[in-house]
Amino acid sequence: MSRPVEFAHRERARFYEELWAFLRIPSVSAKSEHDGDTARAARWVRRQLAGAGLDAEVLPTPGHPVVVGEWRGAGPDAPTVLVYGHYDVQPPEPLELWDTPPFEPRIRDGRIYARGSADDKGQLFLHIKALEAHLATRGRLPVNVVVLAEGEEEVGSPNLVPFVKEHRERLAADTVVISDSAMFAPGLPSLLFSLRGLAYFEIHASGPRSDLHSGAYGGAVPNPANALARVIGSLHDETGRIAIAGFYDDVVTPSRETLAGIRGLPFDAEAYAREVGTVPAGGESGYSALERLWTRPSCDVNGLLSGYTGEGAKTVLPAGAMAKVSFRLVPNQSPERVKILLEEHLAKVAPAGVGFSLVELHGGRPWLATPEGPLFEAASRALERSFGSRPVLTGEGGTIPIVVELEEILGANSLLLGFALPGANMHAPNEWFATECFEKGIDTLIHLYDELAAS
Residue choice 75, 76, 219, 266 for contact with its own copies (CB under 8 A) = 219
Using CB under 8 A as the binding rule, whether residue 429 contacts its own copies is answered as yes
Q: Report the alpha-carbon distance of residue 199 to residue 336 in Å, rounded.
A: 8
Least separation in angstroms between CB 214 and its own copies: 5
Q: Is 283 in the site for its own copies (CB under 8 A)?
A: yes
Q: For the stretch 57-93, what's the b/e string if a residue is b when 16 or more beta carbons lie within 10 angstroms of its beta carbon?
A: ebeebebbbbbbbbbebbeeeeebbbbbbbbbbbbbe
Tell which positions 112-131 bind its own copies, by CB under 8 A.
none
By CB under 8 A, tell whether 426 contacts its own copies: yes
Residue 383 contacts residue 391 (beta carbons within 8 Å) = yes
Candidates 42, 299, 341, 403: give the one binding its own copies (CB under 8 A).
Answer: 299
> Which of 249, 268, 300, 344 is close enough to bind its own copies by CB under 8 A?
300
Strand order in the sheet with 190-195: 367-368, 190-195, 392-396
Contact call for residues 395 and 193 (beta carbons, < 8 A): yes
Among 209, 256, 270, 347, binds its own copies (CB under 8 A): 209
Nearer to its own copies, 160 or 426 (CB): 426
Task: Count CA atoms closer than 13 A to 348's CA, side-chain side.
Answer: 12
Q: Is 155 in the site for its own copies (CB under 8 A)?
A: yes
Q: Which of these segments, 81-89, 123-131, 200-208, 368-376, binds its own copies (CB under 8 A)?
A: 200-208
Smallest Cα–Cα separation from 63: which of 92, 46, 88? Answer: 88
94 makes contact with its own copies (CB under 8 A): yes
- How far is residue 303's CA from residue 307's CA, in Å, rounded to a whole number? 14
Options 384, 427, 436, 453; binder of its own copies; rule CB under 8 A: 427
Answer yes or no whether residue 221 interacts with its own copies by CB under 8 A: yes
Binding mask 32-51 for its own copies (x = CB under 8 A): x-------------------
Contact status: 281 vs its own copies (CB under 8 A)? yes
> Residues 329, 297: contact at Cβ < 8 Å?
yes
DSSP string, 313-344: ---EE-SEEEEEEEEEE-TT--HHHHHHHHHH
Using CB under 8 A as the binding rule, whether residue 211 contacts its own copies is answered as yes
Taking CB under 8 A as the binding criterion, the range among 14-22, 99-107, 300-308, 432-440 that sits at the site for its own copies is 300-308
Please name the amino acid found at residue 397.
G
Q: H/E element holding 437? A: helix 435-454
In terms of C-beta density within 10 A (0-12 exposed, 13-18 middle, 19 or more buried), how is residue 45 classed? buried
Q: Are 134 and 445 in contact (CB under 8 A)?
A: no
Q: How far is the CB of 426 from its own copies (least distance, A)?
A: 5
Q: Determine which residue in the list 37, 70, 153, 396 makes contact with its own copies, applying CB under 8 A.
A: 396
Is 167:68 a contact under the CB 8 Å cutoff?
yes
Kindly state the smallest distance separating residue 215's Cβ from its own copies, in Å. Answer: 3
Rounded Cα distance between 274 and 37, Å, is: 36
Whether the bond between 332 and the residue before it is cis, its omega within 30 degrees of 0, is yes
User: Which one of the spans 49-57, 60-68, 162-170, 350-358 is the region binding its own copies (CB under 8 A)?
Assistant: 350-358
Determine contact, residues 197/330, Cβ cutoff 8 Å: yes
Is position 91 an interface residue for its own copies (rule: CB under 8 A)? yes
321 is an interface residue for its own copies by CB under 8 A: yes
Contact positions with its own copies (CB under 8 A) in 258-277: 272, 276-277
| Least Cβ distance, residue 290 to its own copies (angstroms) | 8
Those residues with Cβ within 8 angstroms of residue 109's Cβ, 6 or more apart along the chain or in another chain: none
73-81, 244-252, 353-361, 376-384 -> range binding its own copies (CB under 8 A): 353-361
The residue among 166 and 300 lying less far from its own copies, judged by its C-beta, is 300
308 makes contact with its own copies (CB under 8 A): yes
Indicate the residue among 46 and 292 with the shorter CB distance to its own copies: 292
The answer to whether the beta carbons of residues 328 and 338 sit under 8 Å apart is: no
Site for its own copies in 240-259 (CB under 8 A): none
Piece of the chain touching its own copies by CB under 8 A; list 19-27, 90-98, 338-346, 435-443: 90-98
Please say which residue, 106 or 230, places its beta carbon nearer to its own copies: 230
Beta carbon of residue 10, minimum distance to its own copies (angstroms, whole number) = 35
- The answer to whether 361 contacts its own copies (rule: CB under 8 A) is yes
Report the residue from 174, 250, 284, 384 that binds its own copies according to the rule CB under 8 A: 284
Q: How far apart are CA 263 and CA 269, in angstroms?
A: 12
Query: What single-letter DSSP state applies at residue 96?
Result: G
**Number of residues engaging its own copies in binding (CB under 8 A):** 103
Residue 31 interacting with its own copies (CB under 8 A): yes
